[in-house]
Amino acid sequence: MPEGPSLLIAAEELSTALGKRVRAVSGNSTQPIETLKTQQLLEIGTHGKHLLLFFSNATLKIHFLMFGSYRVNEPKGNRTPRLALDFAKVQFYFYACSLQFLEGDANDLYDWREDVLSPAWDEDLALQKISALPNEMICDILMNQHIFAGVGNIIKNEVQFRMLLPPQKNVKELSQALRIKLIRITHDYCWNFYYWKKQFQLKKHWQIMRKKVCPRCNGPVTRKVTGYLKRLSHYCKRCQK
DNA sequence: ATAAATGTTAAGAA
DNA sequence: CTTCTTAACATTTA
């Protein structure tokens, strides 16, 4: 569940508890979650892969890492949640996630312009940041949460394929026009991801991720760990040049 | 059944 | 003091 668009969907699902007060708290978190008791949920936000719950007197940041999950009203029977919030008529359950209380104002901690799914998304800023890193590979640039907050490995691979560029290509090898195209395709793909995921049709639209055969040339798909970040890339050596 | 995978951080090593 | 590597965490799917 952890790429940016999924977080947006989570925020929507959880919005049923907006304005409600926490009646009971439990969970195996080591954070001071008890302090949430009696607090009112005022707002829900996201930044990239972070889910932000704004309470009357605290802001909780939830990161689902690789395996985190959540449920509304229906807990996973056999598992202890990291955090369970009981809002009387609505219950949230968060599993296998990282919890942290934000110190201070979220607006001072986050630059919303770097969140691909935010209304504040700023493609000119992204272009500046990319161009400042000429020696970085595309696969690392795409996963950089300070440039494309919310992009994960699936989005990375699909964007690389749609660009017909190999993951190892350096930024300096891309023209200005291609850099802009990269930014726009990433933004578009993130929104497609969001709509497909809502319809439970995300995997159906994967073109290269975990594929064996390139849908374009029917050649073999290469699987290789790439970049500084050492994440798995799926790509077609014939089509992505 | 074993491994790999939608991710990040912190400790340890160089 | 940096910079790089490794381990840790935790769950589902192939």
pLDDT digits (tens, 9 = 90+) for A13-52: 999 999 999 999 999 998 999 999 999 999 999 999 999 9
Count Cα neighbours of A74 within 13 Å in the Cβ-side half-sphere.
1
Q: Could you read off the pLDDT of A132-142 as tens digits, one per residue?
A: 999 999 999 99
**CA–C1' gap, A81 and B14, in angstroms:** 39
Question: A76: Cβ under 7 Å from strand C?
Answer: yes
pLDDT of residue A203: 87
At residue A200 the predicted structure's pLDDT band, cuts being 50, 70 and 90, is confident
pLDDT of residue A218: 93
CA distance A142 to A198: 23
pLDDT of residue A63: 94
CA distance A16 to A54: 14
pLDDT of residue A113: 95
Residues 87-146 of A with CB under 7 A from strand B: 143, 145
For residue A171, is pLDDT > 80?
A: yes
Which two tokens mark A23? 């009646």
Pick the closest to residue A5 from A61, A46, A62, A66 (CA basis): A46
Which pTM was predicted? 0.94
For residue A228, is pLDDT > 90?
A: no
Question: A31: Cβ under 7 Å from strand B?
Answer: no
At residue A1 the predicted structure's pLDDT band, cuts being 50, 70 and 90, is low
- Backbone φ and ψ for A163, nearest 5 degrees, come out as -80, -15
For residue A77, is pLDDT > 90?
A: no
At residue A70 the predicted structure's pLDDT band, cuts being 50, 70 and 90, is very high
The fraction of chain A above a pLDDT of 70, given in percent, is 100
Query: Nearest nucleotide to A80 by CA–C1' distance?
Result: C10
Judged on CB neighbours under 10 Å (0-12, 13-18, 19+), A21 is middle
Question: A1: Cβ under 7 Å from strand C?
Answer: no
Average of per-residue pLDDT across A70-82: 91
Where would I find the H helices in chain A?
4-14, 106-109, 123-131, 138-143, 153-163, 176-198
Average of per-residue pLDDT across A170-190: 96
Average of per-residue pLDDT across A93-101: 94
For residue A78, is pLDDT > 90?
A: no
Question: A225: Cβ under 7 Å from strand C?
Answer: no
Angle at A195 between CA A224 and CA A117, to 5 degrees: 75
Average pLDDT, chain A: 93
